[in-house]
């Protein structure tokens, strides 16, 4: 499908404006040649006047030149108005369509795509299509018509000078045809490099506090640095490849006089028509720069065409992520026990199997803890329950119903999850907590904040719960943000709770408060929790030791210690780690 064909569905009701934009642009371009012709008529009148100049004729030609110039500008303005109306509609519809698709994608998609990369692909690429439709594409008709009209005009007056003008034009066409073939491959690599660099830049900015604390430099973020180096190397090599071609092209396409003046001298020497030849030469000198403008426009148009096509493809590729199947007859959730039955899983686009034959049950109201070495698959198990992904083999059940048979909105309504990477919006604390329950009253939010141990945070903020996070220097620590997120989960009051390293980045004081908030959140709930600090799982109803994608052991804290297996070894190592001392002081 052509680039225009890809953009056409997004035009909708404004689609009829686009042919008008091209028509007005073409008329503007053709009328733009007329002033040059009337200037030439004026020069011819002066040369052939034999000392007697007709002022009426001069005025006539001058007025017509002005009229055609103004008409050309007005028509071009109308063309741009039409094209911009279409371009704005397309840009907006692309963003809306992409966001609608993103909302339907599984939550696992956002684990695999950084926010910087998503923003770059959708926002920036939608802007690229705007530039193409609003400016470049309407000029297409003029870019094609004007050279044809100019060539007809030139060969009509003196075919010999017309041939002279074809020398630099022929070179330009050949150059565009050969070098331009490689532009598409470069533009794909160029835009991919921009997306990668943009995504890495966002991650780098987020990590600046760590960089500053440990006195590191940009080199500590190798991915960001490497993306810059790759971009620099690619662009420099491409620019160097154009150096000789572009220098020669610029010289020739702007140096028509180098060919026209010798041609005029040869014509005069053979025909002896000095006056006529000089007058014709004036016309060619006036009109030939039009070719230069048209060729440059065609180069920009070709580049913009490639960019716009790649931009649309990039957005489609991003949003063409496999969607989870939707049941036609969703089953209501009545019970909240959980079962994993023979579950295998491999992340999309990878080969290594992450989970192998995972099976366990959670009674309603129980707390089950997942422990084990990093990379063993604990977080993956937690993500399969709220259906971030679907299992490759086996099933996940809630209340005896496969999660695939539950409506997505019903599933999200009945599951709260708190991860180690918190997400707070640049809104007030009240609005952030209300995301858990949009219709909650102020009193409900206040109670949730108290239950999440957030009262001392609220009391020291200038506007209390109305304080906007991230504005006017108002920022929260990682542990404080986690408590606000817990208040959101408490307010939601979902019967199933998934906790993934909820205290991972908290200092001791915040960890104590978070643990109290988690105790409130977990009361009467079915809780699946992941923890590295084993003291937080001692009272769990069941502990699963997940290692290399399989359940190595399971049981209560006491039972697992009695087995003297993998968990007992982890517990012993953990006890030793918390008893370490430096210079006689406990760590």
Give yes or no for a contact between 285 and 260, defined as CB atoms under 8 angstroms apart.
yes
What's the start-to-end Cα distance of the chain, in Å? Answer: 64
- Say how far apart CA 535 and CA 517 lie, in whole Å: 16
Local confidence band at 213 (pLDDT 50, 70, 90 cut-offs): low
pLDDT in tens, 246-266: 777 777 777 777 777 888 888
Which range is least confidently modeled, 455-464, 478-487, 495-504? 495-504
Q: What confidence score (pLDDT) does residue 48 get?
A: 67
Residue range(s) occupied by CATH 1.20.1560.10 in the chain: 3-319
What tens digit of pLDDT does each residue of 20-54 get? 998 898 888 888 888 888 887 877 777 765 656 67
pLDDT of residue 275: 73
Q: Where are the beta strands (DSSP E) in 429-539?
A: 496-500, 526-530
Sole residue written with tokens 């297996």: 565
Q: Once rounded to an integer, what is the mean pLDDT over residues 427-433?
A: 87
Q: Has residue 230 got a pLDDT over 80?
A: yes
**Contact in structure between 380 and 355 (CB atoms under 8 Å):** yes
Does the reported pTM lie above 0.75? no
Q: What is the mean pLDDT of residues 116-121?
A: 76
Mean pLDDT within 348-369: 89
Question: Is CATH 2.60.40.3880 the right assignment for the domain spanning 338-586?
Answer: no
| Residue 581, strand partner residues | 586
Average pLDDT estimate for 143-172 = 75
164 vs 25 pLDDT, higher one: 25
Could you tell me if 136 and 3 are in contact, meaning their C-beta atoms sit under 8 angstroms apart? no
pLDDT (0 to 100) of residue 159: 76
* pLDDT score at 586: 47
Q: What is the DSSP letter of 415?
A: E
pLDDT above 60: residue 144: yes
The Cα–Cα gap between 159 and 471 comes to 71
pLDDT at 286: 72
- DSSP letters, 203-221, are HHHHTHHHHHHTT--GGGS
Dist CA 254 CA 548 (whole Å): 68
Q: pLDDT (tens digit, 9 = 90+) per residue, 511-532?
A: 677 777 777 778 888 989 887 7
Do 154 and 161 meet the contact criterion of CB atoms below 8 Å apart? yes
Distance CA 475, CA 103 (A): 28
What is the share, in percent, of the chain residues with pLDDT greater than 90? 14
Query: Over the stretch 282-326, which tens digit does the pLDDT of each residue have?
Result: 777 777 777 667 766 766 777 777 778 778 888 888 777 777 778
Task: Outline which parts of the chain fall under CATH 3.40.50.300.
Answer: 338-586
Between CA 297 and CA 501 the distance in angstroms is 57
| Residues, the chain | 587
Q: What is the Cα–Cα distance from 23 to 138, expressed in whole angstroms?
A: 8
State the average pLDDT over residues 198-213: 65
Say what percent of the chain tops pLDDT 70.
86
Q: Tokens 């030149």 belong to which residue?
A: 65
Q: Using CA atoms, how far apart are residues 282 and 275, in angstroms rounded to an integer? A: 11
Reduced to 3 states (helix: H, G, I; strand: E, B; else coil), residue 341 is: strand
Q: Find out whether 330 and 410 touch, Cβ atoms under 8 Å.
A: yes
Average the pLDDT over 148-155 and give the result: 74
**Distance (Å, whole) CA 427 – CA 468:** 5
The reported pLDDT for the residue numbered 83 is 92
Residue whose C-alpha is closest to residue 317's, from 103, 125, 90, 107: 125
Confidence of residue 219 (pLDDT cuts 50, 70, 90): low
* pLDDT of 408 higher than 80: yes
Three-state secondary structure call for residue 447: helix
Is residue 388 predicted with pLDDT exceeding 60? Answer: yes
CATH fold for the domain made of 3-319: ABC transporter transmembrane region fold (1.20.1560)
* SS3 (DSSP) at 114: coil
Q: Compute the average pLDDT of residues 372-398.
A: 89
- Residue partners of 369: CB distance under 8 A and separation at least 6: 529, 530, 531, 536, 537, 540, 542, 543, 544
pLDDT surpasses 60 at 346? yes
- Tell me what the mean pLDDT of segment 410-417 comes to: 87
Over residues 130-158, mean pLDDT: 77
Q: Which position has the higher pLDDT, 256 or 370?
A: 370
Query: What confidence score (pLDDT) does residue 178 get?
Result: 62
Torsions phi, psi of 340, nearest 5?
Answer: -105, 125
Tally the C-alpha atoms within 13 A of residue 454's C-alpha that lie toward its C-beta: 30
More confident call, 357 vs 186? 357
Distance CA 473, CA 467 (A): 11
Mean pLDDT of the chain: 80
């Amino acid at each position: 499908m052509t680039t225009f064909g890809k953009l056409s569905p997004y035009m909708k009701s404004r689609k009829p404006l686009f042919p008008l934009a091209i028509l007005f642009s073409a008329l503007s371009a053709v009328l733009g040649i007329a002033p040059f012709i009337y200037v030439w008529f004026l020069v011819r009148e002066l040369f052939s006047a034999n000392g007697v100049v007709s002022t009426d004729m001069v005025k006539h030609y001058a007025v017509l030149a002005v009229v055609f110039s103004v008409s050309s500008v007005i028509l071009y303005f109308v063309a741009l108005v039409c094209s911009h109306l279409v371009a704005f509609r397309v840009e907006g519809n692309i963003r809306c369509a992409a966001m609608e698709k993103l909302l339907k994608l599984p939550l696992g998609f956002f684990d695999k795509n950084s926010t910087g990369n998503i923003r770059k692909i959708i926002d920036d690429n939608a802007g690229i299509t705007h530039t193409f439709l609003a400016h470049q594409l309407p000029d297409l008709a003029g870019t094609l018509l004007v050279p044809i009209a100019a060539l007809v005009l030139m060969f009509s007056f003196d075919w010999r000078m017309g041939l002279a003008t074809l020398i630099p034009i022929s070179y330009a066409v050949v150059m565009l045809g050969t070098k331009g073939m490689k532009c598409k491959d470069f533009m794909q690599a160029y835009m991919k490099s921009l997306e990668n660099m943009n995504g890495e830049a966002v991650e780098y900015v987020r990590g600046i506090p760590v960089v500053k604390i440990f006195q590191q430099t940009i080199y500590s973020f190798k991915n960001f640095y490497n993306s810059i180096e790759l971009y620099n190397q690619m662009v420099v090599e491409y620019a160097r490849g154009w150096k000789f071609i572009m220098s020669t092209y610029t010289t020739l396409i702007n140096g028509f006089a180098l060919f026209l003046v010798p041609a005029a001298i040869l014509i005069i020497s053979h025909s002896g028509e000095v006056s006529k030849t000089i007058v014709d030469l004036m016309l060619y000198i006036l009109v030939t720069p039009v070719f230069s403008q048209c060729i440059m426009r065609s180069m920009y148009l070709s580049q913009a065409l490639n960019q716009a096509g790649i931009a649309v493809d990039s957005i489609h590729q991003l949003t063409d992520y496999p969607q989870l199947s939707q049941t036609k007859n969703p089953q209501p959730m009545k019970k909240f026990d959980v079962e994993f039955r023979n579950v295998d899983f491999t992340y999309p686009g990878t080969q290594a199997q992450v989970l192998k034959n995972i099976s366990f049950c959670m009674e309603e109201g129980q707390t089950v803890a997942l422990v084990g070495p990093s990379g063993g698959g604990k977080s993956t198990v937690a993500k399969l329950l709220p259906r971030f992904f679907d299992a490759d083999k086996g099933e996940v059940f809630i209340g005896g119903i496969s999660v695939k048979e539950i409506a997505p909105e019903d599933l999200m309504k009945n599951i709260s999850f708190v991860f180690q990477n918190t997400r707070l919006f640049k809104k007030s604390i009240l609005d952030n907590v209300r995301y858990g329950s949009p219709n909650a009253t102020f009193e409900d939010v206040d109670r949730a904040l108290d239950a999440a141990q957030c009262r001392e945070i609220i009391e020291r903020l200038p506007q209390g719960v109305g304080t906007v996070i991230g504005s006017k220097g108002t920022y929260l620590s990682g542990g404080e943000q986690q408590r606000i997120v817990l208040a959101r989960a408490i307010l939601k009051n979902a019967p199933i709770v998934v906790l993934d390293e909820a205290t991972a980045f908290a200092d001791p004081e915040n960890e104590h408060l978070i643990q109290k908030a988690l105790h409130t959140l977990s009361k009467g709930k079915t809780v699946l929790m992941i923890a590295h600090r084993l003291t937080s799982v001692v009272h769990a109803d069941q502990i699963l030791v997940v290692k290399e994608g399989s359940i190595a052991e399971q049981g209560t804290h006491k039972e697992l210690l009695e087995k003297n297996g993998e968990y007992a070894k982890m517990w012993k190592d953990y006890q030793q780690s918390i008893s370490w001392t430096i210079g006689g002081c406990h760590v």
